[in-house]
Amino acid sequence: MSNDPYASGKFAASPYAAKTDVTAALTVVLRGTLDDRGLELIKPISRCVRRDDIHELILTDEPDAGPGGRVNRIAYLGFAAFTAGGVLVSGDAVSLDGRRIGTLAGFDETHMPNHLNIVVKADRRGDGVERGAALGMAVRFTAAGQEDKEAKSGASAPRR
């Protein structure tokens, strides 16, 4: 039996009651799509990132993409350097240059310890070039539901 609370099913819902936004900036814009990538998303719903970590952003249009699943249909968005450390959680809203591009689906560790594949569930696939991504564009991960509260109150999430 695993001691991992995610693998053993001890959490019925996310234990994250509140968290700060996590920010990054694009350092590489990628092009390309695949229909048979075979990403294996890990069961844990979260990963910590440190300021200055660089990880890859990959989009999928598979509606069932989530922790513990397999993802084949992907588009490469780019690599991003994190400007603030924090915790990324499956279900976070993901925005690029202030525009929502999708929801964090999960994480693939194929290339670790070099970098983490951060998989974002989007309405449509489109690589970095197709989406007009540019070097230095801001990437933001906002807790599920927090962006709606911020919009209504006119406030922004706490920053570090």
Structure-model confidence comparison of residues 152 and 18, the more confident one: 18
Of the pLDDT bands very low, low, confident and very high (cuts 50, 70, 90), residue 156 is: very low
Q: Average pLDDT of 55-84?
A: 97
The answer to whether residue 158 is domain-embedded is no
Q: 49: which strand partners?
A: 86
Residues 6+ apart with CB under 8 A from 14: 45, 89, 90, 91, 144
**Which structural domain range is residue 31 located in?**
22-145
Computed on alpha carbons and rounded to an integer, the radius of gyration of the chain in Å comes to: 15
Q: Would you say residue 158 has pLDDT above 60?
A: no
Q: Is the pLDDT of residue 138 over 70?
A: yes
Number of domains in the chain: 1
pTM of structure: 0.86
Asked if the model's pLDDT at residue 2 lies above 80, the reply is no
> Is 2 domain-assigned?
no
| Rounded CA separation 135/32 (Å) | 17
Q: Which of 67, 73, 60 minimizes the C-alpha distance to 107? A: 67
Q: 156 to each of 97, 102, 147, 153, how far by Cα in Å? A: 16, 19, 8, 8
Q: Is residue 1 part of a domain?
A: no
In a domain, 54, yes or no: yes
**Residue 156 included in any domain:** no
Q: Is residue 35 part of a domain?
A: yes
Write down the pLDDT at residue 144: 85
Res 104 pLDDT > 60: yes
The three-class DSSP label of residue 33 is: strand
Measured CA to CA in angstroms, residue 99 lies from 137, 155, 156 at distances of 11, 17, 15
